[in-house]
Amino acid sequence: MMFFPKKQDTLVAALDATSDAAVAGRSPWADARLRFMRNRAALLSLALLCLITLACIVGPWLLPNAYDSADWEAMSMAPSFKNWHLFGTDESGRDLLVRSLIGGRISLVVGVLATIASVTVGIAWGAIAGFVGGRVDSLMMRIVDMMYAIPYLLIAVLMVTILGRDFHLVVLTITVFSWMDMARVVRGQTLSLRSKEFVEAARAIGVPTRRIIFSHIVPNLLGVVVIYATVTVPGVILTESVLSFLGLGIQEPMTSWGVLIQDGAGVMEVSPWMLLFPGALLSVTLYCFNYVGDGLRDALDPKDR
């Protein structure tokens, strides 16, 4: 009986040592994943985003109605189980559920593609400006300031007038005016990284500047880039919705959430469902992206550990 407490203390000490060793051997990305998993709001938002994305991808194939086919016997019909018009129909008798899913597909694709393009341009621009410094940095950042001064709606109108409305044009227009914030963020992080020991060591052994930037600086910015990209996607989706609402985005019969909201805003007094459902999907998606971005920021930011 006298040896049981000692055995218990030994067992507890062994368990503590094992736990400490497991924590010590865990990578920073594993720690970030665990912190993100503890954020219930971010996890719920991520699950909703996956559900909305899956519905937008698979849903139109499973539903019996096509996004561009008209049901002449059900024009401006309220939500009903008849013919699977669960979200109702528009003034032309087109099923609003299928059109909302197709519109979500377009809006999400535009958001992801424009974000990837803008993040790529912003990383390259900001990393080069921050690492090279001097006159190159001043010139590149003055160009960024000049881009900020240009009203993007005016340029969007000019581009649509000259080139016409097209999916690729929408992505290009949004990309042209969404990379500057990323460039500034990456430049600021690069200024703090270029004086680190591993960068000085790479310089000392004669590693080329281009390789230092893209093989040493950029990989250390992935945390910031992931957070900012998650926050950029909802802004890009909202920009596409604004352009489509103003008639500068996707052309009929193809649609997006912005086009559907524009159509619903004109008949909201007689057919409120045409505005309610696309607006709700857009709002939920934007909120989910913001919560996921907050969760990633809390998980990856060393100051919050």
Distance CA 278, CA 275 (A): 6
Q: Is the pLDDT of residue 42 over 80?
A: yes
Q: Could you tell me the end-to-end alpha-carbon distance of the chain, in angstroms, rounded to an integer?
A: 43
DSSP 109-143: HHHHHHHHHHHHHHHHHHHHHHHH-HHHHHHHHHH
Number of domains in the chain: 1
C-beta of residue 186 within 8 angstroms of C-beta of residue 127: yes
**At 215, which helix (H) or strand (E)?**
none
Could you tell me if residue 166 is inside a domain? Answer: yes
Mean pLDDT of 236-264: 82
Q: Give the domain range for residue 141.
A: 102-304
Could you tell me if residue 172 is inside a domain? Answer: yes
Highest mean pLDDT, choosing among 33-47, 64-78, 249-263? 33-47
What tens digit of pLDDT does each residue of 151-205 get?
877 777 777 777 767 778 888 888 888 888 889 989 988 888 888 888 888 888 8
Mean pLDDT of 268-295: 89
C-beta of residue 129 within 8 angstroms of C-beta of residue 137: yes
Buried b (16+ CB within 10 A) or exposed e, 202-219: beeeeeeeeebbeebbbe
In this structure, the dihedral spanned by the alpha carbons of residues 88, 92, 98 and 104, taken in order and rounded to 10 degrees, is -100
Could you tell me if residue 93 is inside a domain? Answer: no
- 3-class SS of residue 224: helix
The structure tokens 């390789």 sit at 211
Peptide bond into 5 cis (omega under 30): no
What tens digit of pLDDT does each residue of 57-114 get?
998 999 888 888 888 888 888 888 888 888 988 888 899 999 999 999 998 998 899 8
- Predicted confidence at residue 251, as pLDDT, reads 76
Could you tell me if residue 194 is inside a domain? Answer: yes
Could you tell me if residue 195 is inside a domain? Answer: yes
Could you tell me if residue 183 is inside a domain? Answer: yes
Could you tell me if residue 270 is inside a domain? Answer: yes
How many residues appear in the chain?
305
Q: Is the pLDDT of residue 21 over 70?
A: no
Distance CA 180, CA 131 (A): 17
C-beta of residue 260 within 8 angstroms of C-beta of residue 245: no
Q: Which amino acid is located at 255 in the chain?
A: T
Could you tell me if residue 135 is inside a domain? Answer: yes
Band (121; pLDDT cuts 50, 70, 90):
very high
C-beta of residue 189 within 8 angstroms of C-beta of residue 122: no
Angle at 31 between CA 28 and CA 37, to 5 degrees: 145
pTM: 0.80
The CATH number given to whatever domain includes residue 250 is 1.10.3720.10
Crossing angle for the helix pair 96-132 and 167-176, to the nearest 10 degrees: 40
Is pLDDT larger for residue 297 or for residue 87? Answer: 87
**In 10 A of CB 259, how many CB atoms?**
25
